[in-house]
Structure 1
Amino acid sequence: MKSTSYPSEYALERDQSTGAPVHKLTSAACINHATYFLQSSLTPDGRTLIFTSYRTGTAQLFSIEEFPNGPIRQWTDGDAIHPFSPAIDAIGERVYFVRSGSVWVIERQSLDERLIVRFDGAQLGEVSLSADGEWLTAAAKQGGQSGIVVGRVDGTGWHLIPFPHTVIHPQFHPLEPEWIEFAGDPAPRMHRVRRDGTGLECLYQHANDEFVVHETFLGRTGDLVYTVWPFGLWRMDWSTRERHRICEFNAWHITPNRAGTLVLCDTNHPDLGLFLINAETGARQAVCESRASSGGSQWLTSRYALAEDFAAARSAAKSGALSWMEVSTDTVYGPQWTHPHPSFSPDEHLVIFTSDRTGHPQVYAAELNG
């Protein structure tokens, strides 16, 4: 139940390849995972780590207090949350998250929850919070209509911006909060729109045989960085759309530092571990091994999944999943909790990631330059 306290599950390990100190933060025999790679799992003060756990039977929000080795605290109960939806505000006192077709906020100290907005009959994806802390957005599917929902954190001004295909991963521009970048599924991938619904445009026209994935903003540069799977890491100028390749590498999920000088990534096929990539030179530095199973047969290919590739497409449509990528199957894309999804700590001294190396997904924190 909410506010239940659990003993610490902490253990300190050393990475087999780099020798980096790796803090194992959870050990319960169930699914436990960090927030999505587009969000931080740690509060800005570095004292509390939030994570999703199924230890009570459904996806609920938990925290590690007195990070890294303090007790575990349960934040939510009742209806399951969207497991990858939580987003911490800039102060670290509130966490926004999704339950089905609704957006909620929970207070860090009191665990009081408040419903912000509900879209009846809708499925919503992970939450993105604008840099000024005033706006939220999430991918949406309501009836037969896909798009993004956007509105203020106080519950006012919410509306659906329609899009003709499935939408995933909307993100506010870090410098211009009136702009939202989002991914269309399938190709072409990268689009942008103003939060009032105007200015909708495709940023890069490409076909299904160019597997553009995991685009995000290159820190506070305002440019975009993305992967052309599994061949290389690329950068796009937000204004001119000029593109250039940073390096040839099988970078997978990517997270830049705030300055936009480094890009953190995991790897797959083969799993070489977690790396830091210099955004100017493409030089790489190994962080640690992931040893995650990284499920999903689609990552063996270099193009998007098409309907004929797998029978799970029908299941995805029936379940109301936002994307084939959200379906927990072992056929295409695979369970998201089998992927490392690395992210930086707020002070950028740690890398938080998930690995099912022990048989169940657990949350880890690797020290940089440790």
Structure 2
Amino acid sequence: MVTGLSSGIANIRGKTKQLFDCFKSPFANKAPILNISRNLLKAILSRFNYAKKYHVVLVSTDDPGAVYYIKELSYGGITLLSPDNKHILCHKSEQEIWCCDIDGKNYHHLYGHGTGKWLTHPNWLSNNEIIVADWPNGLIGISLNGDVREISKFNSWHPTVSSDGSLIACDTMMPDTGIYAINPVDGEKRLLFHPESAVQKQWAKSSPPKRSPFIPFFIKDQFGSQWQHPHPSFSPDGKKIIFNSTRGGKYSQVFIAFLEGIIE
């Protein structure tokens, strides 16, 4: 249950750890899209050029030298491990979602359509259900058996899920009205805080000015000097959210919002 606004926001200043070098073999030539598993033990990578092919690759966070090639794809896109690390979600740029087992087998089409919609930034709600932003209409849930349900009806953008799957958080675009918490069962939403990313200049308008063949919503001025996506993400205990913002100056920084006493 969400009861109100965030109790505080602070800039994160901590140590960093290099997992691997994206510009050295076998990651050379194309910087990968990386996602960490919920147990923090594995990293899943996609959309990098190895032998001029797109590959889905698994890397151990404890042993960066342990690289496992899972599957070759004809496209690049977002890949995500299910919470139990048994399935891989593959988001194709042409608005399609595919799924396979952790070993690359059972690769199958889960959800997709032609032009006219923008399916973006999918995530795992549970081991059996995926959520994706059908922007600007809202969030939808897609089960592994292909069933589709409506979760919320507002312009959510980058959905993230708490470790226990009980809560969704998302930022908003066009207009940017803040970061919200959503109950995945009934779709109830509550405003958590305002990220002040890009000072809201890029996404202040209520509708996009132009369409394109695959992604129907093209934002004319989105690449501004302070262009930034908040990309909220829950802490493992669900009591904090980290996000990107230029609220602290000219360049993007990582901030943390404390939700103690806000989410019950």
Equivalent position amino acid for 1:339 in 2: H
Aligned to 2:142: 236
Output the CA distance in 2 between the equivalents of 1:307 and 1:276.
26
Decide which of 83, 98, 103 is 1:174's aligned counterpart: 83
Output the CA distance in 1 between the equivalents of 2:116 and 2:186.
27
Q: Is the 8 A contact 1:208 1:303 kept in 2?
A: no
Aligned to 1:183: 91
Query: Which sections of structure 2, spanning at least 5 residues, go unmatched?
Result: none
Decide which of 279, 297, 301 is 2:184's aligned counterpart: 279
Aligned to 1:159: 69
Output the CA distance in 1 between the equivalents of 2:215 and 2:194.
34
SS of aligned partner of 2:83: coil
Equivalent position amino acid for 1:171 in 2: L
Aligned to 2:57: 149
1:4-48 deviation line (CA, Å, top 9, x unaligned) = xxxxxxxxxxxxxx664333316xxxxxxxxxxxxxxxxxxxxxx
Output the CA distance in 1 between the equivalents of 2:229 and 2:6.
20
Matched, 1:192 2:79: no
Output the CA distance in 1 between the equivalents of 2:23 and 2:119.
28
CA change 1:268–1:347 in 2 (3 A) is same
Q: CA deviation at 1:146?
A: 1.9
Matched, 1:139 2:54: no
SS of aligned partner of 2:159: strand
Decide which of 94, 99, 103 is 2:21's aligned counterpart: 99
Equivalent position amino acid for 1:187 in 2: Q
Q: Is the 8 A contact 2:8 2:257 kept in 1?
A: yes
Output the CA distance in 2 between the equivalents of 1:178 and 1:336.
38
| TM-score (normalised: structure 1) | 0.58
Aligned to 2:10: 24
Matched, 1:364 2:255: yes
Q: CA deviation at 1:351?
A: 1.8
Q: Is the 8 A contact 1:124 1:138 kept in 2?
A: no
Q: CA deviation at 1:156?
A: 4.1
Q: Is the 8 A contact 1:192 1:202 kept in 2?
A: yes
Q: CA deviation at 1:331?
A: 5.4
Equivalent position amino acid for 2:22 in 1: S
CA change 1:136–1:335 in 2 (3 A) is farther
Aligned to 2:26: 119
Output the CA distance in 1 between the equivalents of 2:93 and 2:242.
27
Specify the structure having the higher radius of gyration (Cα): 1
CA change 1:98–1:202 in 2 (3 A) is farther
SS of aligned partner of 1:207: coil
Identity %, equivalent residues = 23
SS of aligned partner of 1:251: coil
Output the CA distance in 2 between the equivalents of 1:331 and 1:250.
19
Aligned to 2:124: 217
Number of equivalenced pairs: 250
Q: Is the 8 A contact 2:179 2:194 kept in 1?
A: yes
Q: CA deviation at 1:305?
A: 6.2
CA change 1:207–1:158 in 2 (3 A) is same
Q: CA deviation at 1:271?
A: 0.8
Q: CA deviation at 1:227?
A: 0.8
Q: Which has the higher helix share?
A: 1
Equivalent position amino acid for 2:166 in 1: T
CA change 1:264–1:336 in 2 (3 A) is farther
Output the CA distance in 1 between the equivalents of 2:214 and 2:225.
18
1:107-149 deviation line (CA, Å, top 9, x unaligned) = xxxxxxxxxxx31643242333445666432013325422322
SS of aligned partner of 1:119: coil
Equivalent position amino acid for 1:174 in 2: P
CA change 1:151–1:256 in 2 (3 A) is closer
Query: Which sections of structure 1, spanning at least 5 residues, go unmatched?
Result: 1-17, 27-62, 65-72, 76-94, 103-117, 311-328
1:317-366 deviation line (CA, Å, top 9, x unaligned) = xxxxxxxxxxxx98567789611111112221222222223542233222
1:193-246 deviation line (CA, Å, top 9, x unaligned) = 23333222221121232211111001x4531111101111111112x1101001
Aligned to 1:353: 243
SS of aligned partner of 1:339: coil
Equivalent position amino acid for 1:275 in 2: Y
Q: Is the 8 A contact 2:70 2:103 kept in 1?
A: no
Aligned to 2:153: 248
Aligned residue runs from structure 1 range 33-52, under 5 A: none
Q: CA deviation at 1:179?
A: 2.0
Matched, 1:257 2:162: yes
CA change 1:204–1:347 in 2 (3 A) is same
